[in-house]
A and B are shown apart, each in its own frame.
Chain A
Amino acid sequence: MTKRIALLGMPNTGKSTLFNRLTGASARVGNWPGVTVDLLSAKILVGGDMVEVIDLPGIYDLHGYSDDEKVVRHFLEQQPLDLLVVPVNALQLDRHLVLPVQLAELGLPVLVLVNMMDEAKTMGLRIDSKALSAGLGLPVVAISAKYGLGQPEMLAALQFALKTSQGMAAGATSGARQRLVEDDSVEDKVAALTKAAVDVPVQLPERFTDKLDKVLMHNVFGLPLFFAAMFCVFAGVFWLGTPLQDGMKWLFDQISEHALMPLLAGTPELLKGFLVEGLYGGLSTVAAFVPVIVLFFFFMAVVEDSGYLSRAAYLMDALMVRMGLDGRSFVMLLMGFGCNVPAIMGTRVMRSRALRLLSMLVIPFSLCSARLQVFLFILGALFAPAVAPWVLMSLYLMSFATAFITALLLRKDKHFRSDEPFVIELPPYRLPTLRQVWMRGWLEVRHFLGRATKIIVAGVVLVWVLTHLPAGVEPASADSYAGMVGHWMQPVLGPLGIDEKLTIALIFGFVAKEVVIGALAVIYGLEGDALSQHIAGSLNVLQAYSFMLFCLIYTPCLSTIATIRAESRSIGFATLAVVWPLALAWAVSFVFYQVASRLVGV
């Protein structure tokens, strides 16, 4: 029978890194307290036995009040387990030992891992794990999950603990909340343990983090530096990604010209059109953006793991609180730049429902990587390379602006007003290892491709069908099904400068923004450079910008909506999260296009 172990630990103990180290799979490794919100699990071999490892959300103790703490309590009450693996931060044993002591008092099978020994060593801390083990009455191993130190010892201890474990039935922790109310004895025990097992140097060296904080958390320079850093990330992705993207386009053109066309020479015209212009054209146009997405996720992995986002929360809280949000909402907005879905799930660390709902309502305005590829395509087609990054920057600013306007308008509403405290831990700066960045980036890319293959294939096929049927019509003309829909929508979208063909792309973008460019490729029956040139010829700059604004603001994608619905457990709220952005998108694009075209005199 498969044995099961769960990783249970406080935020900032390197739990996710440990999970990656153990399983080789990749959980999200955020240097941000409480970032692991999904229950990730993986199967590994320990001493010849199959063992399922489950990564639980970071919690402070077994009787806290946040959603994450409830998730963990429910999990422990309902699932039978063979072992709890509890990582603790070597530098903060005075706090982190509370959890193992509580678990030991409940008589549960526990293996304690003193993690981040590399950082403890740098600080000159010496930890006697034998003394700790004796004091706790639990096995203790000192490790560094990040660098793999102590891994053989950890695996041996794991194997031994699993062999000797009597297991814990589901419900072993029930009533823990009542049984653990007497906290003072735990506190005394932890203090005694720390004193016996930890040797702290008289003079702690000034940490690198403290020096860096003096600059990056500076009252005047902090925010400009932060925005400069974010700009560098986005500009870096743009500059590095463009040549890669061109290379991909060239490659796909070559394949189409030299392999696909000769291969399909004898097939009927309609089928050939479907395969080449529909499926291949749509897919290859989207695939050309994969290198940019990969780069973006690698950059974001570095930023997220560095600990800089917590500083951003500190710098931004004074502003965010005036909008009814807090510093964490700002960080979730930033996470949303990768993908809105994990950012929305990340709001689980908030205890107040009102604050969570408001955060969930503003996160979809974050310019996610799927929207980024739409913008990169249009920017590449219509804007000079010198101007393009600034136009992109303006879209990022617009993304913040719409989020802030939404929060400002709704913060006084009784459903969104909260008095949630803002108290969060500030981890030291960490440079993730290449391995961490690679695993994190790879996981995201895999997710992206997984979604891409399903939704995009379905999307482009549907677009092709709608634009090429009824049989015999001029593709995407007014007589095709898509043309009819586009025509029917014209009274609404025409004043925004969005023509019938773009309307069809927008409709499909509702499913996922990844489909928009693929849809354009199918609608125009062109791909790569030819598509760029055609779009450059058929749109003016104002229409393109209006289209991008609409794309940025309106309903993010079906996955985001589904996540909002699941997290809020409210259909009404999910409906608001669809209708409000749609209305705002229309209003913003309308005002922009009408005002700008009058000013320019088009």
Chain B
Amino acid sequence: MTTRLTALEPGQNAAITAIHAAEALHHRLNALGLRVGKQIQVLRQAAFRGPLHVRVGNTDIIIRRSDAACIELRAA
């Protein structure tokens, strides 16, 4: 079973199974440490469906929901 990063509740974490993004975004996500196999944790989400605050390893990242939707996770 897979799910999307946008479906994760704050405090939950899961492993990244796939990234469905165009080349440039895919590249940027990789550079920020979002890679297949890595654990990702959602810390919080901004009001009015604003961006997510996520953590991968030691790096904190803010990512807009529409961009987060391209990240596929293994459902717990």
Which of A's residues lie within 8 Å of B, judged by CB? 10, 60-61, 63-65, 91-92, 94-95, 98, 183, 187, 213, 217, 219-220, 222, 310, 313-315, 317-319, 321, 326-327, 351, 421-428
State whether the Cβ of B7 lies closer than 8 Å to any Cβ in chain A. no
Q: Which residue of A lies closest to B24 (CB)?
A: A65
Q: When chains A and B are docked, how far (Å) is the Cα of A10 from the Cα of B30?
A: 13
* Pair A318/B47 contact, Cβ less than 8 Å: yes
Closest CB of chain B to A127's CB: distance in Å?
Answer: 13
- Contact A95:B51 (CB < 8 A) given known A183-B30, A422-B67, A423-B25: no
Interface residues of B (CB under 8 A from A): 21, 24-25, 27-33, 35, 43-51, 53, 57-64, 66-67
Q: Are A314 and B51 in contact (CB under 8 A)?
A: yes
The reply to whether B62 and A65 contact each other, CB–CB distance below 8 Å, is no
Q: Are B53 and A64 within 8 A (Cβ)?
A: no
- Closest CB-CB distance, B24 to chain A, in whole Å? 4
- Contact check: which of B30, B33, B57, B64 meets A421 at CB < 8 Å? B64
Q: Pick from B33, B35, B50, B60: contact of A317, CB below 8 A.
A: B50
Nearest opposing residue in chain B for A319, CB measure: B48
Say which residue of A98, A315, A426 sits within 8 Å of B46 (CB atoms). A315
Residue in chain B with minimal CB distance to A99: B31
Chain A residue at minimal CB-CB distance from B29: A423
**How many contacts A-B (CB < 8 Å)?**
99
Check A425/B28 contact, CB under 8 A, given A217-B44, A318-B48: no
B27: A residues at CB distance < 8 A: 60, 63-65
B-chain residues with CB within 8 Å of residue A60 when the two chains form the complex: 27-28, 31-32
Cβ of A421: which chain B residues have Cβ within 8 Å of it? 21, 25, 28, 64, 66-67
Q: Nearest CB to that of A314 among chain B residues? A: B62
A422 near B57 with CB under 8 A, answer no
- Return A353 CB to nearest CB of chain B, in Å: 13
- CB-defined contacts of A319 to chain B, threshold 8 Å: 48
B38 CB, min distance to chain A CBs, angstroms: 9
When the two chains form their complex, are residues A318 and B60 in contact, meaning their CB atoms are under 8 A apart? Answer: no
> CA separation between A314 and B51, bound complex, in Å?
6
- Is the Cβ of B44 less than 8 Å from the Cβ of A95? no
When A314-B46, A315-B50 are in contact, do A425 and B30 touch as well, CB less than 8 Å? no
Q: A94-B58, A217-B44 are in contact. Are A425 and B32 (CB under 8 A)?
A: yes
Interface centre among A219, A423, A424 (most CB of B within 10 A): A423
Tell whether, in the assembled complex, residue A423 and residue B49 are in contact, meaning their CB atoms are under 8 Å apart.
no
Listed by A's residue number, 11 A-B pairs whose Cβ atoms lie within 8 Å are: A60-B27, A64-B31, A92-B57, A95-B31, A95-B33, A315-B50, A317-B64, A326-B64, A421-B67, A422-B67, A425-B60
Which chain A residue shows the least CB distance to B44?
A217
Give the Cβ gap from A522 to chain B, nearest Cβ, in Å: 49
State in angstroms the CA–CA spacing of A319 and B59 once bound together.
Answer: 25
Q: Bound complex: CA of A46 vs CA of B2, how far in Å? A: 56
Whether A425 pairs with B59 at a CB distance below 8 angstroms is yes
- In the bound complex, do residue A351 and residue B57 qualify as a contact, i.e. CB atoms below 8 Å apart? no
With A and B bound together, what is the CA distance between A351 and B31 in angstroms? 15
Is A351 a contact of B24 with CB atoms below 8 Å? Answer: yes
